[in-house]
Structure 1
Amino acid sequence: MELLDLHPRIMKALKKSKINTLSGVLSLSGPDLARATDLSSRDVQLLQKSVADCVPRLPAVTALQLCKNDIPPSLFIRKLTTGCRLLDKALKGGIISRGITEIAGESASGKTQFCLQLSLQVQLPEEQGGLAGDTVYICTEDAFPNKRLYQIIESEETRSVFKKHCKDGYHPGDHIYVEHVADVEGLIRFLKMKLPALIKRGKVRLVVLDSIAAVFRCEYSIHESIARAKHLSIIARELHHLCTIHNIPIICVNQVTASLKKRSLSRTENIPALGLSWANHVTTRILLSRTDQIVPLEALSAHDAQSTANHMLRYLEVKFGPHLPLTITPYYINQSGIHGLSCANTEGWV
């Protein structure tokens, strides 16, 4: 109800009549609302219109339109490139603009690096795999990694891409809006009030929440599982609402917990945090992991092979997704970001 832009007199009448949800308004007819709130018919019409505008609704599409690929823009699923051909291949073109995409992984696996890379790629034109828009980056753990962001921006590869596809004087760092949130209440307030206004005013095309697990780490005891699940549901609902209305990718970073099971002799099983209460809201889950193995020089690009730094082997695993097969793609991280490795090149040492 906080999203309604109505006269305080109407909001006061709703509160007095104890109608405090959108479904409560939609379940009553015009005359019933007038009797319950003592509002005029004109005020009831304004109320119903305002509530209807807040409810996400998709246009109807006929089978003939689907056959002709005549789909309204709001139903067209857009894909955001990762900036790496091999990773895009594993993700069937990139991150989709439908539902919540979760990037989970252990510490130092590259979760934040991945999000920074996507925050830059989204600014590219659509013909280059971007969405020609800005990013809202919500930090809940540490300070925003400005140093690493500018290291990626100043890398030779990133500079050449933006110089080729953007105007002179364009700086990618100016198009990432950072918000720091410390607790669950602050996060819900931002998602309900500030973020929708920010998206409507500008050309935001990507939302990153880094991370969802941090705000739930210490706030709930073992006896408060119901309240925890309720707050998780509220956060997921707001994110899905924004995704449906604005057709933009939503990225949520998550932590993992170690399992007693082992995937192989060298790797243990990692389970994303927050359990089924959160997993049921996730559309696509991507799991990142790291190893202690160094990538051989022959598997690296010519530029990285000349570097003196050691590049550690990491894995990107698609756990589930409505459009993705279950795959595992090796990758490494250099100054310009994340880069996939060909499985053919790693066959002898993975």
Structure 2
Amino acid sequence: MKVKIFSFSADLLCEYDRLKTGCSEIDKILRGGFRNNILNELVGTAGSGKTQICLYLSLMVQLPKQFGGLNKAAVYICTEDVFPIKRLYQMSSYFEQKFGIENSLDNVFISHIADSQRLKKVLCFDIKHLGRFKSIGLIVIDSIGGLFRNHSSGMRYDHRSKDLAKIAEELRKLSSRFKCIILCCNQMTDNIKTGCSEPCLGLSWSNLVNSRFRITRTTSSWRTFEIIFSPDLPPAHCNFSIANTGIK
């Protein structure tokens, strides 16, 4: 008698946590929000709204699951010039009034990093140590391209590819260990050969990303959020705006 053997993918056997963005239109096409256990990337030009979404997610993750959060803390890794603490404080004031919570800033752990070696140390040791005392639900890197942009002239591409692979590996380990969402922001750059804008770091990074989302600023008030590729989501897009209170 022949025995049929069925194989199931890991995605079919696992249930994933999802973190809502606070914008109903974005959450609708994300089928409930950003999911864990994969490497999510958010790309867009400067001023498109990437940081605004990440800041608000750092607050949303603290909410109970019935309100779209995970009841956990956020780790925000900043590689740009200055972390926008005033903007986060502004959002948190409205956020605490809306949901009736207090001290939301106490659950956002901020680290400013200037190079990839320091980032690997934070991922391998610092966040794991923090996880012993705090339940981590979100890790943001804003931005992954900023780590390599200032040092690209003196860095070999094979070394950069190894660094990116190590960073992606550690991020996936952390997502699996803490069941947290990973979200990496990335800048856009112009491709001289094609004449088109594309995410920084090329194929070496693109091949490591599981889901890619893009934000485009259409007018002074409106943005477009777009799903470029994802293992469990079809391509889709929607419009949203950014207000003093956050995303809407």
Fold-level similarity (TM above 0.5): yes
- The runs of at least 4 aligned residues of structure 1 exceeding 6 Å deviation read none
More strand by share: 2
Task: Identify the residue that residue 234 of structure 1 maps to in structure 2.
Answer: 166
Task: Identify the residue that residue 182 of structure 1 maps to in structure 2.
Answer: 114
Task: Identify the residue that residue 79 of structure 1 maps to in structure 2.
Answer: 18
Task: Identify the residue that residue 3 of structure 2 maps to in structure 1.
Answer: none
Identity %: 38
Find the aligned partners of 1:315 and 1:176 in 2 and give their Cα distance. 27
Find the aligned partners of 1:204 and 1:233 in 2 and give their Cα distance. 23
Residue correspondence of structure 1 range 217-256 to structure 2 within 5 A: 217-221=149-153, 224-256=156-188
* Larger displacement relative to structure 2 (116-125 or 145-154): 145-154
Matched pairs, number: 241
Please give the per-residue CA displacement for 1:112-167, whole angstroms capped at 9, x wherever unaligned. 00000100100000111100010011111122211101111223xx234321xx4x
State the Cα distance separating 1:98 from its structure 2 match.
1.8
State the Cα distance separating 1:256 from its structure 2 match.
0.5
The runs of 5 or more residues in structure 2 that have no matched partner are 1-5
Find the aligned partners of 1:119 and 1:270 in 2 and give their Cα distance. 28
**CA distance 1:81–1:106, change in 2 (3 Å):** same
Residue correspondence of structure 1 range 223-302 to structure 2 within 5 A: 224-259=156-191, 269-291=196-218, 293=219
Find the aligned partners of 2:56 and 2:155 in 1 and give their Cα distance. 39
State the Cα distance separating 1:323 from its structure 2 match.
1.1
Give 1:247's aligned amino acid: K
> Match of 1:107, SS?
coil
Residue correspondence of structure 1 range 1-350 to structure 2 within 5 A: 75-155=14-94, 158-163=95-100, 166=101, 170-221=102-153, 224-259=156-191, 269-291=196-218, 293=219, 312-339=221-248
Query: Computing the radius of gyration over CA atoms, which structure comes out larger, 1 or 2?
Result: 1
TM-score w.r.t. length of structure 2: 0.90
Find the aligned partners of 1:173 and 1:244 in 2 and give their Cα distance. 25
Find the aligned partners of 2:71 and 2:40 in 1 and give their Cα distance. 20
**CA distance 1:331–1:232, change in 2 (3 Å):** same
Find the aligned partners of 1:78 and 1:93 in 2 and give their Cα distance. 9
> Match of 2:37, SS?
coil
TM-score w.r.t. length of structure 1: 0.65
The CA RMSD measured in Å over matched residues stands at 2.4
Task: Tell me if the contact between 2:96 and 2:104 (Cα under 8 Å) persists in the aligned partners.
Answer: no
Task: Tell me if the contact between 2:20 and 2:69 (Cα under 8 Å) persists in the aligned partners.
Answer: yes
**CA distance 1:186–1:99, change in 2 (3 Å):** same
Find the aligned partners of 2:30 and 2:196 in 1 and give their Cα distance. 22
Find the aligned partners of 1:204 and 1:159 in 2 and give their Cα distance. 20
Find the aligned partners of 2:41 and 2:155 in 1 and give their Cα distance. 27
Find the aligned partners of 2:190 and 2:240 in 1 and give their Cα distance. 21
The runs of 5 or more residues in structure 1 that have no matched partner are 1-61, 263-267, 295-311, 340-350
